[in-house]
Structure 1
């Protein structure tokens, strides 16, 4: 299983698969063929179908422009490579002759892979195959999940999670709450986080807290939609859910940043299990792989903060995934806005509910986290292509038909 440093990436929105992955691929290819005088790239499948709305062509061109180069981008929506729907083919030329090419795939969370590989970035940091093994190891050692992270990644992992991850998440909340401009793109969608927060302050009790929780989730998700820098948790499209809930909990209970780092480590242990045994890519398994995974992670981390046991953390994570099973990835006009932004805010509340449900269930649970991850993966593979981030079905199709 991969390092938490790979799970939690800092990068530009609105899509880890469509911006961070292609950005990293562009940087890698450019470094290999820095002497070429021209470049081209073909975008395949989902990268082509929703690339414009997800700013894929923009981020690729920007990498080359920043290096004083240019690149031709071709969208080939009709070709889907059997290895993964987010495929790219880079080509380099010298004096009109091709001198190099690279076929590479953006497999979710900003990770890259070549055909037949799980991830070009993945280095086995943890010796586990599933969550059952993680839980057993923690029980035998009498430690919390965050302590396993420290065992395998060193004490500095908590510093990374506090300073490099949590601080960026908090800044995204603050920036999102302060902004009120219209989001970029064809929908001309108005931001809501600032207004939600202001309205929440006119309320009291549970209604006030609910409004604040929604506002925090919206704030980060809207920052992502605007192309700002956020943290993949585990993706850009689901980047508002976990920070929204965690910020709410820190404010409500006055948790220290050190405790938030430990909660991020706990959440991350569930995230790396999902990435190993299923997917966090909407193009590969639908939005259940993005919002469902984020809800699992957030629910587990919240349960830790609320003093739940590891068994209760697992139950909360299982609930978070189970009740998003079958969720389609259907961004309207290829933008990570409708329904994505609302799903982050509502998903934050669902993760909160999952945490408390697990805390009330003292008699345990029957469905394991590993089982629900396997089910999500099977469900994702059985989704028709139009429900996997192509904008050709679901709400994306119905919205355009209705308009």
Structure 2
């Protein structure tokens, strides 16, 4: 079973698969060199990016992520305030100091956007060479979405009391109990309950900090498109306006929180993958919505929301994909909306059947969604797409709660359709910036 804390990771923007995953891969590569006693022999490191990683390298910050990873940084702890300047210095010097080495080594980067290394389009190869250009070590990594690297799962995973491979099995095991209780029981098989709750609340703190930064930080997003940050202005207008006579003002707050997160993500800020960076705004936006408007919102509600949401993300990751480079944005925003809808439905008193229905509704109405970032940046259409996905999640939860949990299309069918649609989707619509808005936007 995938853990909740594998699905929700603290990282940096703008992409979990193109930034977080490659940084982790580079960091892991250097650790391997140290473990094998090779660091003192390394004179140069060669990096090759393939497929989607190469096609959107600069816009997604993959080059920065790899160099900082080689320098010993990790997504959870890297200083985002100094990361850009440090990257510029390493790039300009053409040398990077590997942690534990006595001096700096040369680095090169090669891009192969038209080449793919199976089994996943996000591949990177790192090689360490000695002074005679003899290869000391070469490793291939695949960044498969959400910050995961292929092979992250342990060879002998810890047994859990309620394993589930799909939604049908999840519902059968849950019975009349809450889905969050089942997921909590699985997590407490790995670590004490107080630690599970503390870590979930820490994730919520990171999400809230991200929203707060997004609502306060003015300016224009980096990358050259000139996209303005809209969250600060919208936040000021909503605070001045109050609820007033507008019965739909709550929708504006949901959209605001999603915009705030994804503008921070686009600027390389710290976010929580939920389940990816490109879709990181939906889960916190809907959870903020509950805390703002529900009279009984508390820490227990936060924990239950995240546990329930994670159950849906686990199902999609196991049976389809959460990687835009593999299945398009339906796997990112679609999954995030399904997760958020499920979490909200449980907090509003939904049965397991209604929770599953909410997730299915949200996912079904994102099927076929392409990933076509303009200019290779996680900005257009990604930022607004999170706002719309958040509103869809709320609507899906409300629609499911107005039913009795019985519905014609099960969540598992929607997940299989996501997988099959992603397989049929042309590669130019899978995070390569070679189709859709990326080529039809007149200013690019």
CA distance in 2 between partners of 1:390 and 1:80 (Å): 12
Taking the aligned partners of 1:246 and 1:173, their CA distance within structure 2 comes to: 12
The DSSP-based 3-state class of the residue aligned with 1:33 is: helix
Q: Which has the larger radius of gyration?
A: 2
Equivalent residue in structure 2 for 1:99, among 136, 156, 163: 136
Stretch of structure 1 that moved more, 127-136 or 45-54: 127-136
SS in 2 for 1:345: helix
Partners of 1:223 and 1:303 in 2: how far apart? 27
Q: How does 1:125-274 map to 2 (within 5 A)?
A: 126=160, 127-139=163-175, 142-154=176-188, 155=193, 156-163=195-202, 165-201=203-239, 202=241, 204=244, 205-254=246-295, 255-274=297-316
**1:121/1:20 CA distance change after superposition, 3 Å:** farther
Match of residue 335, structure 1, among 364, 368, 377: 377
In structure 1, the gaps of 5 or more residues are none
Counterpart-to-counterpart distance in 1, 2:255 and 2:352:
27
Q: Deviations over 1:299-340 (max 9, x none)?
A: 000111111111111000001100000000000011000000
- What is the 5 A alignment of 1:1-400? 1-34=1-34, 35=39, 36-66=42-72, 68-69=97-98, 70-95=106-131, 96-113=133-150, 119-120=152-153, 123=157, 126=160, 127-139=163-175, 142-154=176-188, 155=193, 156-163=195-202, 165-201=203-239, 202=241, 204=244, 205-254=246-295, 255-362=297-404, 364-399=406-441
Unpaired segments ≥5 residues, structure 2: 73-95, 99-105
Give the structure-1-normalised TM-score: 0.95
The 1-side partners of 2:199 and 2:67 are apart by: 30
Question: What secondary structure sits across from 1:364 in the alignment?
Answer: coil
Would you say how many aligned residue pairs link Structure 1 and Structure 2? 395
Which stretch of the first structure deviates more once superposed, 166-175 or 294-303? 166-175
Are the counterparts in 2 of residues 64 and 71 from structure 1 also a CA contact under 8 Å? Answer: no
Structure 1 residue 343 displacement after superposition:
0.3
Structure 1 match to 2:76: none
SS at match of 2:248: helix
Q: What's the TM-score once normalised by structure 2's chain length?
A: 0.86
Note if contact 2:353-2:405 (Cα within 8 Å) is conserved in structure 1.
no
Give the CA deviation at 1:65: 3.5
Tell me how far apart the structure 2 counterparts of residues 370 and 71 of structure 1 sit (CA, whole Å).
45
